[in-house]
Amino acid sequence: MDGFAEFGWRGRIGYIVAIPVIEHMPYEFYQMAPKGVGLVITSLGKKDQGAEETEKALGRLDQAIADLAAVGADYICVASSPMVTYRGTP
């Protein structure tokens, strides 16, 4: 990326993760993403796969979506199959 002004000029992908720390995913994303596509990540801070932590994280989902929309995410992806399938309905 030549400068911050170019960040996401083609599009911004919002990415919601359940776990609190993201290590290699952003690096891999930018290895394959076309120039001008930006990645904006937020975390739900889920500490384990238990029902209580999952419910807490799901309770933060709407705010995470609003936060990504506020910074201009064009698309939003929720990563973590337990978060997506937990309640058994789409």
Contacts of 53 (CB under 8 A, 6+ apart): 46, 47
The mean pLDDT values, 10 residues at a time, for the chain of 90 residues are: 67 94 89 94 92 91 96 93 70
Among residues 79, 45, 50, the alpha carbon closest in space to that of 63 is found at 45
Distance between CA atoms of 87 and 20, rounded to whole angstroms?
21
Is 57 within 8 Å of 46 (Cβ atoms)? yes
Contacts of 89 (CB under 8 A, 6+ apart): none
pLDDT at 1: 39
Q: Into which CATH architecture does domain 4-84 fall?
A: 3-Layer(aba) Sandwich (3.40)
| Helical ranges in the chain per DSSP H | 25-32, 51-59, 61-70, 81-85
